[in-house]
Amino acid sequence: MATLSLSKDDLPTIKLKNEDDLVVSPFLGIEKGAVLQECRIFNDLHLKPRKCVDALVRLLYLVGHGERLSSTEATEVFFSITKLFQSNEPTLRRLVYLSIKELAGAADEVIIVTNCLMKDVNSREDMYRANATRVLCRITDSQMVSQIERYLKQEIVDRNPVVASAALVSGQHLLLHNKGDVVRRWISEITQALEHPSPMVQYHALALLYQIRQHDRLAVSKLVQGLARSGIRSAFACCLLIRSILRIIGETYASESTSERRPFFEFIESCLRHPSDMVVCEAARSIISVPGISREEVKKTVTIVNSHLLRRSSVVRHAALRILNKATYLYPNQQWFDPFDFEDFLHDKNRAITTLAIATVLRGAREQTIEGFLKKIQSKFMELPDEFRVQIVEAVHSLVLKYPNSYYSLLNFLGSSLREEGGFEFKRAVVDAYFSLLNEIPQSKEICLSHLCEFIEDCEHPFLSARILHLLGQEGPKMSQPGKYIRYIYNRIILENAAVRAAAVSSLARFLDENSTSKTRKAIVVLLKQCLHDSDDEVRDRASYFLSQCQRMADEENSLIKIDEGEEPVSSPTTIKEFPQLPYSLPELENSLVDYLSREDFNEEFDVVNVPKAVASLGASEHMTTTDIPGKTEESNVDTDDWGNVSLASSSQTKEMPGWRNANSLLSEIEELASLGTPLKTSLSAELTEPETEYNVSYVKHTYRQYIVLEFIIVSTLEDQILENVQVVTDLSSIEGLQLVKNIPVSLLKYGSPQHAFVILQRLEGFYPIGDAPCEVRYVVKEMNPSTGEVDDKGFDEEYKLEDLSFGISDYMVPLQQTNARFKDIWDKFGSQNEVRETFALSMHQSIPSALNAVRDFLGMTVVEGGQVSTYATQHISLFGGSLVTETDCIWVVCYAEFVKEPDAVILNLTVRSEDLNVSELVCSAIA
């Protein structure tokens, strides 16, 4: 790509009276119309290069900042720019190239500039040749590539490195945009370019050669083997070759033996002695990333990396620390960092190096040295920016989980950081760490809650205050002295904004449980009564609701609490176990009420039975640890069920949908569906149309042992039509193992009235159909007069295309109940004989929480442990459990998932065990 090189005289300047005056951007206030008017100077007979440069700079600024030119405007400017080829001024010519590339997508007939570019390609000026080649390959189509192929092949072997690199990069662009059939015939020239004396040309040649052969594994292996034997001088090309080798090792790890991979590994080891620090760091990073690497190999690599910590270059030191940091993930009990060099990194001028060094030492620290490390980094920690402090907080969090007996000193470190100044992201990271540790280490609950209570006294972030108040409402009543938390909660009611006050009211009401004393209950009732006079509606409504629930439940227990003024409370104990939750979906309840009021027909009472029920959330998982699972060392104390291990969830997971009542009751009303029994699982609803279309269609899948029932909820938004015999037709030709049994249509569909159509599918024995199936709605349309309600007797057949139906492994997986799942027992029972291990790169996800949620939803399993993870976490372990539905029984499936965050993806190391090896392979293959 051509670079923009302008002198001070080439840009508009602003004269300043004093050095302290504010410097204003020279592009401030420019408008598209004025710039287009200015571009007309390109048509002058006598060009003025200085003014043309100014106009092109302003034009490129507008286009680069998102200003869109119409096709007519872009074409007019484009043809004006082509007239600037008559000027040989270097700066103007380079700007012309940039302008043509930017306007090529919006202008028409850009191919007319080809002759001018071809002239520059054949010129003697290397700068013209290189830039013209790039622009020409950008605007040309697949038919014209063959006409310029001869020039491109000559430039690949050109002595000038700029020209050769431009031709090679243009070849990559042609391949990327499906114009590169001719590029595959350049193997001889590209191979010759690998011997070019310029390191840049060697790098681009290797990149293009790999891009041509990337889909042929054998050809890639031969290319890598040949270059590994002969060697390559360019450091950039050597790094690219190392990455290619690492990719080959990862792809062939399961199929090839160690001896077959040894030549590749030996080449990477030889790169550890390369004179370039960049190559050494890349080789070390690759060796640590090789699957199945031994501890001895890692130790030799780390020894070499440690020597680079003393280099003067900050980039080299940072790269070496990142490698050591990654090594601590693989072997957390090994001290890769020399503690005697730690003081030097504390005073490093580069804060990123300081942060990374602290995080590395903490992750690999010994338990007896933790307190000393924390004292050393305390003062330096407060000087770092928030983004660096978040990384250290994550390292401290990992260290607490690693050494739970040392939680006191580590939590004191986190508590002191909460009292210091910091932004929202930093405070949220610390609070997330407290929430996680509170669940992972039960004995730390008291100190965690105390630190969080102190934090909300001066918390400037309502979101964090509301979260902590909710936690206090959950955990505070269970503590030995719940009364001391009530004071912190009530302080929020007095001092905070409306959102926090509402959260505090809900938290306060949770202390009215069966363990609370009579004195505590009376005090809470008094506090709630004071909230009835709050200025915010939400706060008053919550206080009123909880007081009424308190009164109602006290009446049920025959132990009345007098709420009215002047009445004495009864001294008998009040046992309020919990406040009942609304069984309905609040969004759907609101929609139903709005719809009822909009009809303005109040002769019929509002019936709450028609409101869809809310999804019952699973209980919080108990703290469980295992002995034979990687990374787990403690024993689980969870009770077993009748089977001895796990029990299935008794109710299916469902999601509320418009006009959809209780799924089981609706299925039981239809004879064909009632004969199938009760579904083992009901999926979440999915939309098959856009919200603004004339018909809104969503669907739900009900899974039985041998059948799948598709329930379609269809709503018409057209007032002047009614539909008859509405049915959904599915094309199952692309999905193996699934056949149609019966289609149950909707007899009549009116405007705004949701109706349900069903499709019954049978799953063939031994098949778990996965894939997408096209579908459409077929119906008979009849015109209707909305004002009179008269319907035309004549109708006509019509069809409406829908989005494809999706079938996945989650449709056949029933999640486990978290409250009584004994993961360790199942894991040990299945053993390693039915175990399958795979590694996946989740490139669509840039954070571990996003990847964790995606894997959970895709597999349809319960996260037995490790469901909570910080957004900034770089490594996390989760345990999944589920039961695969078969024709006769359910097969238990358990998964151990390790997530590792990389710069461009999240790596998932998945281990699956089940009663049947084929089932374990099925789960892994579904992800692949």
CB 823 within 8 A of CB 878: no
Q: Output the pLDDT for position 635.
A: 33
Which of 10-19, 341-350, 638-647 comes out lowest in average pLDDT?
Answer: 638-647
d(CA 648, CA 650): 6
User: What contacts 87, CB < 8 A, 6 or more positions away?
Assistant: 47, 49, 52, 93
More confident residue, 694 or 621: 694
Q: Output the pLDDT for position 776.
A: 92
Please say if the pLDDT value at position 706 is more than 70: yes
Q: Output the pLDDT for position 759.
A: 92
pLDDT per residue as tens digits for the range 611-657: 665 543 333 333 333 333 343 333 333 333 332 222 333 333 333 33
pLDDT per residue as tens digits for the range 88-98: 888 888 888 88
Q: Output the pLDDT for position 612.
A: 61
User: What contacts 683, CB < 8 A, 6 or more positions away?
Assistant: 653, 700, 701, 702, 703, 810, 811
Please say if the pLDDT value at position 58 is more than 50: yes
Closest CA to 385 of 421, 430, 410, 433: 421
Q: Output the pLDDT for position 728.
A: 92
What is residue 45's three-state secondary structure?
coil
CB 647 within 8 A of CB 817: yes
Best-predicted range by mean pLDDT among 1-10, 248-257, 483-492, 545-554? 483-492
If you ran DSSP here, which 8-state letter would residue 244 be given?
A: H
Closest CA to 579 of 529, 648, 630, 505: 505
- Average pLDDT on 159-181 reads 85
- Average pLDDT on 656-673 reads 58
- Average pLDDT on 737-741 reads 87
Best-predicted range by mean pLDDT among 139-143, 251-255, 352-356? 352-356
Q: Which pair of tokens denotes residue 367? A: 């338990």
- Average pLDDT on 126-147 reads 82
Q: Which residue has the tokens 């001391």?
A: 484
Long-range residue pairs from 85-92, CB within 8 A, at least 24 positions apart, any chain: 85/116, 85/119, 85/120, 86/47, 87/47, 87/49, 87/52, 89/49, 90/127, 91/5, 91/6, 91/7, 91/10, 91/49, 91/53, 92/49, 92/52, 92/53, 92/56
d(CA 865, CA 729): 41
Q: Output the pLDDT for position 200.
A: 92
Where residue 337 falls among pLDDT bands split at 50, 70, 90? Answer: low
d(CA 694, CA 415): 56
pLDDT per residue as tens digits for the range 242-300: 888 888 777 766 556 666 667 777 888 888 888 888 999 999 988 888 877 777 888 88
- Average pLDDT on 436-454 reads 86
CA 370 remoteness from chain centre: 33
Share of the chain above pLDDT 70, in %: 83
d(CA 925, CA 928): 5
Question: What's the mean pLDDT when you consider all of the chain?
Answer: 78
Please say if the pLDDT value at position 490 is more than 50: yes
List beta partners, residue 762.
707, 739
- Average pLDDT on 561-568 reads 46
Q: Which residue has the tokens 């508009």?
A: 12
Please say if the pLDDT value at position 668 is more than 80: no
CB 492 within 8 A of CB 453: no
Give me the half-sphere count of Cα atoms (radius 13 Å) on the Cβ side of residue 882: 29
pLDDT per residue as tens digits for the range 79-118: 888 888 888 888 888 888 888 888 877 766 667 777 788 8
Please say if the pLDDT value at position 37 is more than 50: yes
More confident residue, 756 or 261: 756
More confident residue, 22 or 712: 712
